[in-house]
Copies of this chain bind each other. A is one copy, B any other.
Amino acid sequence: MSATQISAAGKVLKVLSAFGREHSSQTLSEIAQRTGLALSTTHRVVTELAGWGVLERGEDGAWHVGLRLWEIASGCPRTQILRDVALPFMQDLYEVTHENIQLAVREGTELVFVERIAGHRSVELLTSVGTRFPVASTGMGRVLLAHAPREIQEEVLDSPLRSWTPHTVVDPKALRTQLDRIRREQVFVSDRQLSASTVAVAAPVRIGRRGPVSAALGIVFTAQGASRARALREPLLRAAHGISDELARRTHTTA
């Protein structure tokens, strides 16, 4: 479909989709390039979006997502309900560990980080809230993959797995065994799979203790402290169960 055949609504959505955590600030010509729309069309759509406060222009002249769109999006139930319920439990974990505490959900064969708690002493991460990664690339993602529908698992196992570090498990057979173990053991220790400098422990968050897996909770810390993984198992599981119980309570209440 050529750009001229796209509906006006489609053009708005194309321009919006050009933004995101990784492309948060763009000039008009960058937006045109990323959307494939003509510069004049891009200008018209951006101006209309700016009129609604959906896009804002920075002092450098580049465009970015406006506060108005952020407010609209803050009502996203998949992130917001999870976040509201999970945050106090994530705080508990943070106080015990002072490490990065993360929450992620699966979307197809990718995972999206929806919440992160970090302090001054927490190790710097490649991931951040609002970014997507292939589901197999992180410990939290593998927990989500282990509990994903079979067709999603097969899709991931049938595609080449990216080797992020020399330690990344890329053999589909080894990954399959790992997924089995994750289902059996609940907590998964992901040793330098995405970054050579970090280790993660991850556990599933369900709706109730036996309900569907709706998210993964993880603690990410420096690989030098890898021996801590065992000690973190219990507090992580306690937090994941706390969130799961509360999600069941809320789902029950609102149903």
Residues of A at the B interface (CB closer than 8 Å) are 7-13, 16-17, 19-25, 45, 48-49, 52, 54, 56, 58, 64-80, 84, 87-88, 91-92, 94-95, 105, 107, 112, 114, 116-120, 122, 128-130, 132
The CA-CA distance from A95 to B11 in the complex, in Å, is: 46
Interface pair B130/A71, CB less than 8 Å apart: yes
Q: Given the complex of chains A and B, what is the CA–CA distance between A73 and B72 in angstroms?
A: 9
> A94's closest neighbor in chain B, by CB?
B91
Is B105 within 8 A of A67, CB to CB? yes
Nearest B residue to A52 by beta-carbon distance?
B13
Closest to A24 in B: B75
When the two chains form their complex, are residues B87 and A117 in contact, meaning their CB atoms are under 8 A apart? Answer: yes
CB atoms of B87 and A48 under 8 A apart: no
Closest Cβ of chain B: how far from A204's Cβ, in Å?
Answer: 18
Contact (A117, B91) CB under 8 Å given A71-B132, A73-B65:
yes
CB-CB nearest in chain B for A121? B88
Q: By the criterion CB–CB under 8 Å, are A9 and B112 in contact?
A: no
A116 to B10 Cα, complex, angstroms: 34
Q: Given the complex, which residues of B lie within 8 Å of A16, measured CB to CB?
A: 54, 69, 72
Asked if B58 and A77 sit within 8 Å, CB to CB, the answer is: yes
Contact, CB under 8 Å: B91 / A119: yes
15 A–B contact pairs at CB < 8 A?
A8-B9, A8-B12, A13-B52, A17-B68, A19-B75, A25-B77, A56-B78, A64-B76, A67-B107, A70-B78, A70-B130, A71-B130, A72-B73, A87-B118, A88-B122
> Contacts A16-B69, A69-B72, A70-B73 given; 20 further ones with Cβ under 8 A?
A7-B8, A7-B48, A9-B12, A9-B49, A13-B52, A13-B54, A16-B54, A20-B72, A20-B74, A24-B75, A24-B76, A24-B77, A25-B77, A67-B78, A70-B130, A74-B130, A88-B119, A88-B120, A91-B119, A92-B120
Contact indicator A67/B9 (Cβ below 8 Å) = no
Measured CB to CB, the closest approach of chain B to A253, in angstroms, equals 13
B79 pairs with A9, CB closer than 8 A = no
A11-B9, A12-B12, A119-B88 known; A67 and B24 CB under 8 Å? no
CA A143 – CA B49 in complex, angstroms?
Answer: 30
